[in-house]
Structures are given as C-alpha cells and as structure tokens.
Structure 1
Amino acid sequence: MSEEVKKFKITIDGQEVEVLPGTSILEAARQIGGQSVPPAMCYYKPLETSGGRCRTCLVEVSKGSDADPRPMPKLVASCRTNVMDGMEVKNVTSEKTQEARKGVTEFLLINHPLDCPICDQAGECHLQDLSYEHGLETTRTEFTRRTFEPEDIGPYIKLNMNRCILCARCVLVANQLTEEREHGILFRGDHAEISTYLNKALENDFIGNVIDVCPVGALTDRTSRFASRVWFTKPVNATCSCDKCSGKAVLWMKGDEIIRVTARKDQYDEVEEWICNDCRFHKKDLKLWNVEGPRHIDRHSVISLNHYEKPKEYFRQIDNPDAKEISESDENQKGDKII
C-alpha cells in the first residue's frame, strides 16, 4: 500500500493553501485564485520548460520554510520556484514586488509600439492588461525603438516582430507539437528576433496554435486580420467532425458569420486542447459546426463583459405602463402565476 504524500502548506498574501511537493509558487497561487495570482507572460502550463523569461511573476518570499524561516534575499520568479513547507509569499502585499513589476513592464514596452488601435490582439492582450496596471505614462529611454516590417511566415500566419516580447511560447509549441520546427529565436541580446529558416514557411497541421499561445499581437491569423474588433464578436463553443484533432473549438461570431476560430482556453488563457489548421483556418462555414452554446471568457478583459446573462440585480419590466417591476425572487414566490 503506497504511503500518502505529505502536502506542503504555503501562505500567499495571508491566504493558506496545501499543495503537493514540487508545485511552483505560481501554481500554488492559482489554487488560491484572485489577486494573489502573479501575472505570467511567458509561463504556459501545457508547454514543458516554459517560464523564467519575462520576470513579470516576481514575488517576495518573506519566509523560506518552517525549517529555515529566513526570507529569500531577492525576489524570485514564482513560475520557476518550488514551494517549501511553511513558506510565506507576498505578491500584491509587497511593495518590492509591485515596484519590480513596474520596472519589468517598462522594459517590455521599450520597443513595443503604441499600436493598440490597429492591433488584432487589442482587447485580449496580456501586455495591455499589464501596462494598464503597472505601465508608465511616458518612456524614459532615449534610444530609437528597433523596428521590423510585418511579414508572412506562412499562408495563414502574420508576424509583426515589433510587438514580440520574446517569450518563446511559439517556439516551444512548435517544438512539442510539430515534427520539424521551422522557426526560432535568431541572434542574441537586443538583436534577438523570431524568424523562420531561410525559404521556409510555417505549414505544419498544428502550427496555427502559435497564434493562440502568443500573449501579444506578434502572431496573428491572416484569415481574420482586421475583420472585427474582438469586443464586437460573441464567442460560442462548437464541435466538428475532424480526424486530426478533437474538433472542439471556440467560434467568434459576428451575426451569422464566423470571424475566426480558436482553441478553447481556461481562465489563465491556456489552451485546453490543441486544434488543427483545418478547423482553425478552413472551416468558416457555420454549417460545418455543431454549436453547443455561449462561451464564458474568464479573463478580465473586454471580451469577458456580459454578453449573455442578465445582471444579478436586473428587474424585468412587463410591457405595460401600469405594471410594476418584479424581481426573480418575487417570481419564484408566486410560482407560475402570471401578473
């Protein structure tokens, strides 16, 4: 009979949770939820070896463990630091963490253009959320921004290197989903950039997933570019018969028209099941899909605004000027009686 694994207790912003040994601070924070969860621009749970690049998830460890209660001398990357029993962590309650996050955000925006009004990622961009919370009004750098011309790196994908933050998610997803990766990070330091090998195009059956994992607007869908703002579309769950993937996807609708197709994601914007290029780019006819119902977007962005449900304090007014407004509680008390 196997022995039960002892769980570690960790406290984040005064909230305690028990997790298995080997769990990262970031994953422990996600079990708590709310504002205690640090932002992550490069970490992506479904991708092995992701994380440790963007430094937006830095946290302060005020107590190392019960065995060694000394605080860690520097801020640590929560996606790469495992918990210890009795560890105490500060995220939103740490001034050092918030100040460091502002500095990281400033670095990420040094070369990033202010083109949100024309960017297809606007409204569901992680960098937009991060800059809104921690960004500065002006930049302190005096150097000229590095610029690149947008390029097509395949029949379906547009690369705008100006917006890239080198999180390497697209490289990892290509490594782990495709047999032969045809793009990567070239050069080093401030000359580093995402690019394809010479005379190569990204055409693998699952390469479209690099669009879903990109946290900014560096990789976008050429079949839906500039078709509609994301907040003007309504996401719905749908399935189709596909022999390459599960066929489970999210359709972004504008009326009866499918603007784009994406994989289904969880509340941290991480893909639940990868989808193939056929489902993503070619099946734009509603007849090919079985619509299951509205898709609730958990992320705090404009796409999570209430499209389908009535507000909790909503009162239905009967189409009669002499009638009174009645609440749902009043309706429940009266049963089926019609007023």
Structure 2
Amino acid sequence: MKVTIDGHEIEVEPGTTILQAARMIGGESVPPAMCYYSKLKGSGGKCRCCLVEVSKGSDANPTPMPKLMASCVTGVMDGMEVKSISSPRVQEARKSVTEFLLINHPLDCPVCDQAGECDLQNLSFNHGKSETRFIEEKRTFEPENIGENIQLHMNRCILCYRCVMTADQLTDGRVHGVVNRGDHSQISTCISKAIDNEFSGNMIDVCPVGALTDKTFRFKSRVWFNKPFNAHRDCDKCCGKTTVWMFGNEIQRVTARKDEYHEVEEFICNSCRFDHKDVNDWVIEGPRKFEKFSVINQNNYTRKLDKVTIETEKQILLGRDQDRKKISMVEVPLKNTENSKS
C-alpha cells in the first residue's frame, strides 16, 4: 500500500504505522516521539508529541480525519495522505504538547546529566516557548533510592512508561512501576525494593529525559566533552556491543549503541555497562557516528556555514546614517574656546 507524507510517497507493508512510514522517508517529516520505542511492545500513544494531520483517509474513503492523529499508533491505509511538518495545525499542537510536558519539569538542564542528549530538550528547542505561562506551584516528589547504579529524579519524569516496559520485557521480575493516579502518578519500586537485575541499566538508555541516570557517571562530565567510540567485548550475558564514552584515556561511562532516533540497537547487560570501565576490557572499533543533530555530533564545530545575505531597505540605511551623524555630531562645529577667551 502507498502513503504520502508531506508530499513524499512511499510504499509500505500492511500494518505499518504513520510514524514508521515517516521514519522510512526520513528528514523533517519524521514526527517527534517521547513515549514510542520500536524495541518495546505496546509503547506509544501516551505523549501525543507525534500528532499528524490526515488530510485523506484512503483511496476507498478519502474523507479527512477530523482530529489530529497520534502517528505512532495509527495504521497506514492505501492512498492515505498525511501532513506533518507542513501542517500549521500540527505545529501548533506540538507546541501545546511541549508546553504541557514542561509544566512540571524543572529547569535544571545545567546540572542534569542528560543535557546534550535529552529528547525533551530537543523537543523544547524545536517547539517550545522562550518563557512559561505556568504560574502555579510545580509538582514535586521526595527523592527515592532505587539501587546503587540508577539515580531516579522523579521531578523530571514525563510518565512515558518506557522503563516499566523495559523491565517487563527484558527482566524476570519487575519490582517498579507507576503508582498513584492522575497528577500524583510516579515511578516507584512499590515496596521500597532496590532495582537489581542484570538488564536494569537499559532503563537509563530508554529514558527520554533525565529521570533515570547512571550513578557511576553522575556529575563527572558533560556528554559533549566525551568522545564516543564503538567497542565490543566477549560477554556471555549480552551481545557485548556498546558505545564507550571517553575523556582522554579514561572510560567515563558505557551505553548501548543507539540509532538516529536515539533508540537502542541491542540491549546490554549491567556487567558491560557498570563493571568494565578499563580501556583494556574493550576492543575499540572506532569513533561513533551520530546521524541525529546533536551537540555531541562529530565535526559539529568545524562544519562549514552558509553565507548569510542581509537585505536592508534604503530607508533603514538612511535612518542608520542619520543616527550615525547625530551620535558622532560631525555637523556640529566645536566652539573655539581660545578665541572666546580672547
């Protein structure tokens, strides 16, 4: 079946969602996603960041869908036409969703270890406002210790459920989840148990914000000061393929390899993630290439910039010239103090 997104036509298999089709096309037409994760079954449909406008339902029923649709859970129909970046309605909706996500989110990017690779930070940069309209008191939670390797900052959580699904689908026994309801919902270990299983560290990788971070990397460095390298080791628990983040000759943290949509390619075990920080433990393959625009992209600061042409109207130039004369006072003669004294 065929679908057209922002004027780009592509043929996809039945059962493909609009978001998946957009990712096949690539570019600016790809909607942002804060809760959907292709490696996790049942994810999506919660954050509403990926809303799109379906201007034509299908060839069989060309009636436009009256409401904006969540692209991560809406299946493609043959002949469907979708507007993403080209729709003003979609742009306004994404701005509104971003504003709601930031209502209770603390402005602590300067001290957050996720800064520089945060999906919410990127979303806010593209669709957020420069100031908030929220004047009420922000919702806050008491700190909770969930283990020796994972730091929980519940105040930053956007309740995407990714960490819960990761624990459900990768581990034998999940000991944490979402408790309470509505505005009081929070991630907790329910019975004050520490999260301790061999693949729990993957919750850090799937978290789109700084709610779950690596305690072994806490406040050590900013991510853009580290150099990421692909590396591997023989491991009997996982694939052993990782990205090691180095500062000089020191490995400061280890993460799973991620694709251009910041999704894990293959999940790794806690032993690879937390216990092997020695360079000799790894076979370094080479520098990691990041497809997605980010401050940690290689050659980010050496990329050639296009020349900017500034077109100015004649009246503006004339006004500036008049202001310059007034400021410099070139037409005002100086008084001859010596002649006046004589």
CA distance in 2, matches of 1:312, 1:161: 40
Residue in 2 aligned with 1:195? 188
1:299 aligns with 2:310: no
SS at match of 1:278: helix
1:299 CA drift (Å): 1.8
CA distance in 2, matches of 1:107, 1:163: 13
CA distance in 1, matches of 2:30, 2:38: 14
Q: 2:253 aligns with which of 248, 253, 260?
A: 260
Paired residues for 1:288-327 under 5 Å = 288-306=281-299
Q: 2:268 aligns with which of 268, 275, 279?
A: 275
SS at match of 1:238: strand
Residues 230-284 of structure 1: CA deviation (Å, up to 9, x unaligned): 0000000001111101110000000000010000111111111110000000100
Residue identity opposite 2:168 in structure 1: N
CA distance in 2, matches of 1:261, 1:289: 11
Residue identity opposite 1:113 in structure 2: P
Q: Which segments of 5 or more consecutive residues in structure 1 lack a partner in the other structure?
A: 1-7, 314-339
Runs of 4+ in 1 over 4 A off after TM superposition: 307-313
1:301 CA drift (Å): 1.2
Residue identity opposite 1:101 in structure 2: R
Q: Is the 8 Å Cα contact of residues 294 and 308 (structure 1) preserved in structure 2?
A: no
Residues 137-176 of structure 1: CA deviation (Å, up to 9, x unaligned): 2222232001123332111000000100000000000000
Residue identity opposite 2:140 in structure 1: T
CA distance in 1, matches of 2:177, 2:243: 28
Residue in 2 aligned with 1:150? 143
Q: 2:115 aligns with which of 118, 122, 126?
A: 122
1:198 CA drift (Å): 1.4
CA distance in 1, matches of 2:242, 2:126: 31
Paired residues for 1:1-339 under 5 Å = 8-306=1-299
1:193 CA drift (Å): 0.5
Residue identity opposite 1:16 in structure 2: E
1:305 CA drift (Å): 3.8
Structure 1 stretch 294-303 or stretch 284-293: which is displaced more? 294-303
Residue identity opposite 1:100 in structure 2: A
Q: Is the 8 Å Cα contact of residues 10 and 87 (structure 1) preserved in structure 2?
A: yes
CA distance in 2, matches of 1:106, 1:235: 32
1:188 CA drift (Å): 1.0
Q: Which segments of 5 or more consecutive residues in structure 2 lack a partner in the other structure?
A: 307-342
CA distance in 1, matches of 2:255, 2:230: 10
RMSD, aligned α-carbons: 1.6
SS at match of 2:228: strand
Q: 1:100 to 1:47 in 2, by over 3 A?
A: same
1:307 CA drift (Å): 6.8
* TM-score after normalising by structure 2: 0.87
Residues 109-129 of structure 1: CA deviation (Å, up to 9, x unaligned): 000000000000000001001
CA distance in 1, matches of 2:4, 2:120: 28
CA distance in 2, matches of 1:312, 1:279: 39
SS at match of 1:133: helix
CA distance in 1, matches of 2:175, 2:296: 33
CA distance in 2, matches of 1:254, 1:100: 40
SS at match of 1:142: coil
Structure 1 stretch 26-35 or stretch 298-307: which is displaced more? 298-307
Q: How many equivalent pairs are there?
A: 306
Q: Is the 8 Å Cα contact of residues 179 and 190 (structure 2) preserved in structure 1?
A: no
Q: Is the 8 Å Cα contact of residues 206 and 275 (structure 1) preserved in structure 2?
A: yes
1:300 CA drift (Å): 1.4
CA distance in 1, matches of 2:156, 2:170: 24
Q: Is the 8 Å Cα contact of residues 289 and 298 (structure 2) preserved in structure 1?
A: no
Residues 281-309 of structure 1: CA deviation (Å, up to 9, x unaligned): 01001110000101001221111242799
CA distance in 2, matches of 1:142, 1:14: 41
1:312 CA drift (Å): 11
* TM-score after normalising by structure 1: 0.88
CA distance in 1, matches of 2:144, 2:123: 26
